[in-house]
Amino acid sequence: MTTRLSSLGARKKAQPEWIDPMLATLTRDYFSAPDWIYEPKLDGIRCLAFKRGSKVTLLTRNKLSLNDRFPQVVAAVKDQSERNLVLDGEIAASSHGRTSFGALQQRLDLQRGTTRGGTQLNYHVFDLVHLGEWDLTPADLLARKSVLKERVTPAPHLKLVAHKKEKGEAYFAEACAKGWEGIIAKRAAGVYVRGRSKDWLKFKCSNEQEFVIGGFTDPQGQRTGFGALLIGYYDGAQLRFAGKVGTGYNDELLRSLTHRLEQIEIEESPFEGKPPLRKNVHWVAPKLVAQVGFSEWTGKDARLRHPRFVGLRDDKDPKKVVREDPS
């Protein structure tokens, strides 16, 4: 095993306490190429799993622990025969082959590992970053995937992400037809780097990204809680207003989210400039992140058209939420 890993370019190194995950870059330049592979784009929570002997730690991109929320995933990683490893993947809820962040957040039954309606909760592993005393980040992607398949065993709540070669455009069309979020194109010979990289590219079927909540409006008519969330994104140190989101909520969410918003209400707008809003507006400290789907960005004023609330994200740092434009 030692000889093989060294031959792949791996290097001996102590297992890290943390590693900044490799992130994909959004593109609209869809392509097929023999030196790239293609995977489903999963709609869940990015998760790095660290196993050291009998201890397992699940961490989000901003280093929040997921152990209490997903004990079944902790158990699945702990049961692996390898004593020391670092896995990279996505925790997602799926039904009929389609993952859904909304289902993960709103419908998850943490005790049983399934959600109402038979939706399955799994840790979808797509990379192996560290194994034993070996740092695998210098090895190319297909080599890492080969070792992952050999050394990590699929189990209840732990799945290995399959990939396809060459036919990226056809796979993307298939993904969109099935209602998936999209696919990820990955350079087959690429090494694992920290942070955003163009060796991983996102092909998205629909527009959806994170936004920072900076305020809310009063409810109208029979509605309770709030009317719409006021959202934005960071441009350097400035929070830019992107519009308001008034759809995608049920009564339970309206009540619980209103309570959270009231706890962080502030006097002045956190947005740069003054958003073009009417009265009955409340401002909040920019501490909460919402996942929002939308049809498109408008032109000069850079607002969202037909936005809809998908869910809250506690795995994203508000300060790192920026407008996601294709490269």
- For the annotated catalytic residues, the residue numbers are 41
Contact 184, 41 (CB under 8 A): yes
Contact 126, 141 (CB under 8 A): no
Per DSSP, the residues of 119-135 read EEEEEEEEEEEEETTEE
Radius of gyration, alpha carbons of the chain: 21
d(CA 53, CA 46): 23
Contact 31, 152 (CB under 8 A): no
C-beta atoms surrounding 42 within 10 Å: 22
| CA nearest to 26, candidates 233, 165, 181, 234 | 181
Per DSSP, the residues of 119-186 read EEEEEEEEEEEEETTEE-TTS-HHHHHHHHHHH---BTTEEEPP-EEE-HHHHHHHHHHTT--EEEEE
**Residue 2, H or E segment:** helix 2-7
C-beta atoms surrounding 247 within 10 Å: 10
